[in-house]
Chain A
Amino acid sequence: MQKILLGNEAIAQGAIDAGLSGAYGYPGTPSTEIIEYITAGPDAKSGKIKAHWSTNEKVATEEALGMSFAGKRAMVTMKHVGLNVAADAFINMAISGINGGLVVVVADDLSQHSSQNEQDSRFYGKFAMLPILEPSNQQEAYDMMAYAFDLSEKTKLPVLLRSVTRLSHSRANVTVKDKKNQNSLQLLDDTKRFALIPSFAKLQYKGLIEKQKDLEKIAEQSPWNTYQEGEDTSLGIIASGIAINYLLENYPEKVPYDVLKVSHYPLPKEQVRKMFDRVDKILVLEDGYPFIEEMIGDYLGRDQKVIGRLTGAIPRTGELNPNIVAYALGLEEHIDSDIPEIVVGRPPQLCPGCGHIDLYEELNDIIPEIGDNRVFSDIGCYSLGVLEPYDAIDTIIDMGASIPMAKGAADAGLLPAIAVIGDSTFTHSGMTGLLSAVWDNSPITVIISDNSAVAMTGAQPSAAMGRLYDIAKGLGVKKEHIKIIIPLKKYHDKNVEMIKEELDYQGVSLIIAQRPCVTMSNDKKDLARQFNTFEPSY
């Protein structure tokens, strides 16, 4: 049967049809729709598949590993920067290996449409010495999930499936197959390989290294890597993942050159060698960092045989498109485009009526008195407070950085120091930072701008809902310095007073600015209000 599926939906449906038992993840553009699709489906609703938004990507990865340990097929999903958070689990489960098939799906955000960087997850896959699959279209994304689970169980290793924004967020016709049965619980006879004390771990690590030859052989014969010879041997092209589409767009009939399509790593060495032998020059087309180019290129740059992002044939940053590829092939003379001058930029902004706006207006009333350069913020919709007309926050680095940075700045003597963090970001990575500050009795004020949702990615449920007060108290923030305010215009003056009061306190104070996200449905807002039972502190 054919369906129109978003790349992320194709990944999700592919996993379901491959006999998936559990899907875990943390929302993040461009990966969010994978878990959302599974959650909305009949198998998750009836409880046959566990689909869960975990508190962060590391937790999600470990939950998936637990399900795999019990013998069932599990998937974990995240955006590229989420893999930084999950890295400890990711690297070490390559050492332990898996039991039931485990696929780690990471969606890289090339061109930084919604991200701090455009890091390329293939480096993590190589770092962990794991097989990497890189689908080139929605059909492959679907088909590769079953292949990935089989490969994972065959090699007893997690498999990394790397998507990119333009695949995750693009729809196409996909032919779907019948659903396989799920694995039953299958316990291991010996669990030592999951217990990574050095004596066991050294053996596992050696085993992983020994497996590399097999992984190379499998990739060499993989149906996803194909070599097509061309008539013109002045050039050969290695195209990974979706880059092949931009090449075919420019040569819809037949590419005149040798083409190696790479969608399964380790890089198929023999096929690369064949291209080196056959052609004069190799153009590497890859959406992301120059990963393949760096591996096969000449380190000292004396030999110009390999060209790509490192040599300037392709721009060093940003996603590929048909025009960039046409330019690299000499089919187009320039890649700039002329947008009429009358068109001005339209950056994203906080929604009208958003509670973050009121909070920032309150803060901006206080900043002139206490001085600039002291508001440390975090990742979420409220990051938009860095833009005009608010210009209310100074730093946005990574999930949870606000509180530790405020503490560090306070340690340096920058007082008062303020952290502004969202509710879900707080439960993702803010709690340990808060505990560190409490432990050291740091004079900082933490404001949790609580909208009871993971708002930026589409208002997914927040694990923080109804729990922030108790978490803060449990972590040791003194009860008299946990304040709840409602960020509404009518409370503006009261809120300003309350924030000022807490700024004066020479220990950790925590203010929960509580108002449900305006984009949520009335049902969801009502639910949030039921959970948030604590009265404002005035």
Chain B
Amino acid sequence: MKKDIIISGVGGQGILTISAVLDTAALESGFNVKQSEVHGMSQRGGAVQAHVRVSDQPVYSDLIPKAKADLILSVEPMELLRYLPYLSPEGYLVTDINPFKNIANYPDEADLKAQIEQFPHHRIVDARTLAKKAGNFRAANVVMIGAVSDLLPFDEALLKKVIADLFKRKGDRIVQMNLDAFELGKAAVLSQEV
């Protein structure tokens, strides 16, 4: 078993939370993991990504080689396409469709969507709306974990436990909201599986 996952978005969008959930699930599943992330200047509203590599064999490189990623999970549509050179021919593209526009020359949203839809394995999720439905738009990153849960090498129960543990210190209400966000993400992609 080997899964190479790129998580992408804009600094401040919660990439590291998604990575932390996957790392912990990997550790608890007895897998090897390497997860490279971005700290520093780019965290100030710049393009950021994490490379998450999970395997039952040793993981060497902290970075995923080009054309080897099984999944690119993005919380922002343009940032999804930035890492396209890493996608394996059989890989999945999964993104929140809500753009983060902090630059003047942001591309046309319909064009972005059309480009993503050209790929055989893609899932487009309105994570922001679903997160709001769960209780807070900030839970969009957890919606996205739900949206790829079937593509991850972890039991769903374990993923939920890790999410619950992660938010435990913020209280039961926040834990429940994030679990709801996870379920909404999961349900949203059931209908569009390709």
**A interface residues (Cβ-Cβ under 8 A, vs B):** 2-4, 29-30, 32-33, 113-114, 166-167, 169-173, 242, 245-246, 248-249, 252, 321-323, 326, 337-340, 342-351, 381, 384, 456-458
Contact = CB atoms under 8 A, between A and B. Distances in A.
B65 A171 contact: no
Given A339-B84, A344-B107, A346-B47, A170 B40 contact: no
A348 B11 contact: yes
Interface stretch (B27-35, B131-139, B150-158, B163-171): B27-35
Interface in B24-71: 24, 26-27, 32-47, 57-66
Nearest to A337: B85
Interface of B: 10-11, 19, 23-24, 26-27, 32-47, 57-66, 78-79, 81-82, 84-85, 102-103, 105-107, 111-112, 115
Contact of A322 (B44, B46, B61): B61
Contacts of B78: 342-344, 346
B101 to A, nearest CB: 10
A384 B42 CA distance: 11
A171 B107 contact: no
Contacts of A339: 81-82, 84-85
A456 B172 CA distance: 33
The 6 closest A-B CB pairs, nearest first, are A29-B40, A114-B40, A337-B85, A348-B46, A170-B62, A249-B61
B41 A456 contact: yes
A198 B142 CA distance: 64
B44 A384 contact: yes
Contact of A171 (B35, B57, B105): B35
B157 to A, nearest CB: 20
Please indicate which of the listed interface residues B33, B34, B39, B81 has the most CB atoms of chain A within 10 Å of its own CB.
Answer: B39
A430 B135 CA distance: 47
A342 B112 contact: yes
B38 to A, nearest CB: 7
Given A166-B62, A322-B63, A340 B84 contact: yes
Contacts of A343: 78, 81-82, 107
* Residue from A4, A29, A246, A457 whose CB has the most chain B CB atoms within 10 Å: A4
B34 A172 contact: yes
Contacts of B81: 339-340, 342-343
Given A33-B39, A246-B60, A350 B106 contact: no
B45 A248 contact: no
A387 to B, nearest CB: 11
Contacts of B46: 346-349
Contacts of A170: 34-37, 62
A181 B50 CA distance: 37
Given A30-B39, A113-B41, A346-B47, 17 more contacts: A2-B27, A4-B35, A169-B39, A171-B37, A249-B61, A322-B61, A339-B81, A342-B107, A342-B112, A343-B107, A344-B105, A348-B11, A348-B41, A348-B46, A384-B44, A456-B41, A456-B44
Contact of A173 (B32, B65, B85, B105): B32
Contacts of B58: 252
A245 B102 contact: no
A38 B64 CA distance: 30
Given A340-B81, A342-B115, A252 B60 contact: yes
B44 A351 contact: yes
20 contacts: A29-B39, A167-B62, A169-B38, A171-B23, A171-B34, A171-B35, A172-B33, A173-B27, A173-B32, A245-B60, A252-B58, A252-B60, A337-B85, A340-B115, A342-B107, A342-B115, A344-B78, A349-B44, A349-B46, A349-B102
Contacts of A114: 39-42
Nearest to B61: A249
Nearest to B79: A346
A373 B10 CA distance: 32
A60 to B, nearest CB: 19
Contacts of B45: 346, 348-351
A228 to B, nearest CB: 15
A173 B33 contact: yes
Nearest to B107: A342
Nearest to B84: A340
A361 B112 CA distance: 34
Contacts of B106: 344
B42 A113 contact: yes
Contacts of A166: 36, 62-63
Given A340-B84, A342-B81, A343-B78, A321 B37 contact: no
Nearest to B47: A346
Contacts of A172: 32-35, 59, 62
Contacts of B39: 29-30, 32-33, 114, 169, 458
A4 B103 contact: no
Q: Which of B63, B105, B112 has the most CB of A within 10 A?
A: B63
Contacts of A350: 44-45
A342 B111 contact: yes
B62 to A, nearest CB: 4
A246 B63 CA distance: 9
Contacts of B32: 172-173
Given A248-B60, A339-B81, A323 B35 contact: no
B5 to A, nearest CB: 13
B40 A346 contact: no
Nearest to B19: A171
Given A113-B42, A349-B46, A456-B41, A338 B10 contact: no
B35 A346 contact: no
Contacts of B27: 2-4, 173
Contacts of A321: 61, 63, 65
A382 to B, nearest CB: 11
A415 B20 CA distance: 52
A381 B11 CA distance: 14
Given A30-B40, A170-B34, A346-B47, A338 B60 contact: no
Contacts of A2: 27
Nearest to B44: A348
